[in-house]
Amino acid sequence: MKKIYFESRQQAAVFHNPLKEGRLDTQNIEVRLDPLTGQQSTFNGGLEEKVSILFPETDYAYLEERARATEGTCFMCDGRWRTTTPTYSTDLFPEGRLQRGETVLFPNLFPLASFHAVIMLGNDHFRLMNELDANLLEDALSIAIESFEQCHRHDASLRFFTINANFLLPAGASLIHPHLQLLGSPFPGTHHQTLLERSLAHYQKHHSCYWLDLLEEEQSREERMIARMDDSAWFTAYAPTGANEVNALWPRTSHFLEWKEREIRQMAEGISRVLKGYHHMKFSTFNFSCFSGPVDQWSPEFRCFLRLVNRQNIMAHHRTDDYYFQKLLKNEIIIQRPEKLASKLRPFF
């Protein structure tokens, strides 16, 4: 029995098109279904040439102006984080915060989970995506994993962790200063739970791990593979959940507490390379979430997994990219074919 199925449904929309002198126009629409979740992602080839309507270009002058205007009041800048940010109890972290290089971890003032930490990514208030280098990310991810170890040791009920990022305002960040967000909870969030449940269902049905089956399939097809490193694999999503989605998979680890320096280094390295590629395509914002299985057991059905997507490019009066189609109907629009995106990103690895 085939284990991974890349389902695609075709439709046609027919109408008299004023852009084509009122002639009857037929536009072909492809709806792709994610092989694990069934999530639908829709592609209309006609949109590829009209991306600027859905996804206007970055206004770098505006970005620079916003960065300069917010620097003076930023609570992270000029070492202000030392007095402005909260601290954890010393039995969790002896210093109250964790620090490595230019990165600092402290509690979010308005937490959304028992453990909700922020990591400041360096002293610079403003960086473009291509300036988030692997060493900086490696420092941040090292303290992220260290914090998960400490949290779980301190309270064994905290089993579900994610590493997340909102980069710049259209991606939901409330400040320009680059940072990561960590969540730790006794139960997984909605999408995290879906991933875990569907992975288990696949394991029970096929007696194999969905994520390894997916990797084998993507490697044999090649068209969406970006790079294979020793301990991680990077590829574009067949049915993306956001613009220009890139996925990464750690085939040997089911949860974050199994991560050693190599896994951390490869996440840092991979993200920084994808961001250089995005920047080259003049994209300026992103979100990512990296998922782990429960940290108190080896889960044969799950592997650590990352989703990285672009959001609307930064510009004055930017329009949201999350409207009824995404927010309520839970579909996504494919603005560029995942196979084409993979070919554009390969040179950065």
Half-sphere exposure for 219 (CA within 13 Å, toward CB): 14
150-179: contacts with Zn ion (CB under 5 A): 177
Q: Which is nearer to Zn ion, 36 or 168 (CB)?
A: 168
Applying CB under 5 A, the span of 70-78, 218-226, 265-273, 294-302 interacting with Zn ion comes to 70-78
Alpha-carbon distance of 339 to 282, in angstroms, equals 19
Size of the site for Zn ion (CB under 5 A): 5
Stretch that binds Zn ion, among 10-18, 71-79, 111-119, 196-204 (CB under 5 A): 71-79
**Could you tell me which stretch among 123-131, 133-141, 151-159, 306-314 binds Zn ion (CB under 5 A)?**
123-131
CA distance to 17, 18, 19, 47, 334, per residue, from 22 (Å): 5, 4, 7, 19, 27
Structure token pair of residue 276 = 């250089």
Q: Which position among 74, 200, 225, 281 is part of the footprint of Zn ion (CB under 5 A)?
A: 74
| Least Cβ distance, residue 173 to Zn ion (angstroms) | 11
CB of 74 to Zn ion, least distance (A): 3
Give the three-class secondary structure for 209.
coil
Nearer to Zn ion, 175 or 281 (CB): 175
262 neighbors 231 (Cβ within 8 angstroms): yes
Q: Which stretch binds Zn ion (CB under 5 A): 124-132, 179-187, 247-255, 264-272?
A: 124-132
Are 296 and 157 contacting, i.e. CB atoms less than 8 angstroms apart? no
Q: Is 125 in the site for Zn ion (CB under 5 A)?
A: yes
- Please say which residue, 125 or 224, places its beta carbon nearer to Zn ion: 125
> Does the footprint of Zn ion cover residue 76 (CB under 5 A)?
yes
Region of 41-49, 68-76, 245-253, 340-348 interacting with Zn ion (CB under 5 A): 68-76
What DSSP designation does 86 have?
Answer: -
Q: Are strands 98-100 and 40-44 parallel, antiparallel or unpaired?
A: unpaired
Indicate the residue among 126 and 211 with the shorter CB distance to Zn ion: 126
User: Shortest Cβ distance from residue 302 to Zn ion (Å)?
Assistant: 36
The one segment of 42-50, 67-75, 182-190, 303-311 that binds Zn ion by CB under 5 A: 67-75
What is the nearest approach in angstroms of Zn ion to the Cβ of residue 80?
8
64 or 261: CB nearest Zn ion: 64
Task: Please list every residue from 174 through 193 that binds Zn ion, using CB under 5 A.
Answer: 177
Regarding 273 and contact with Zn ion (CB under 5 A), the answer is: no
Q: Which two tokens stand for residue 146?
A: 């260290």
Q: Supply the DSSP string of 144-162, one letter for each residue.
A: HHHHHHHHHHH-TT--EEE
List all residues 6 or more positions away from 226 whose beta carbon is below 8 Å from its beta carbon: 234, 235, 236, 246, 274, 342, 345, 346, 349
Cβ 211 vs Cβ 198: under 8 Å: no
Q: Which is nearer to Zn ion, 55 or 81 (CB)?
A: 81
Which CB, 71 or 213, lies closer to Zn ion?
Answer: 71
The window from 66-74, 165-173, 307-315, 320-328 that contacts Zn ion (CB under 5 A) reads: 66-74
Q: What is the C-alpha separation between 241 and 154, in angstroms, rounded? A: 34
Answer yes or no: are the C-beta atoms of 307 and 289 closer than 8 Å: yes
The CB-nearest residue to Zn ion is 74
* Closest to Zn ion by CB, 76 or 151: 76
Strands (E), the chain: 7-17, 23-33, 40-44, 98-100, 103-107, 115-121, 160-167, 179-185, 225-228, 233-236, 243-250, 286-291, 304-310, 332-333
Phi, psi angle pair for 87, to nearest 5°:
-130, 155
Q: Which is nearer to Zn ion, 185 or 284 (CB)?
A: 284
User: In the complex, which residues of this chain contact Zn ion (CB under 5 A)?
Assistant: 74, 76-77, 125, 177
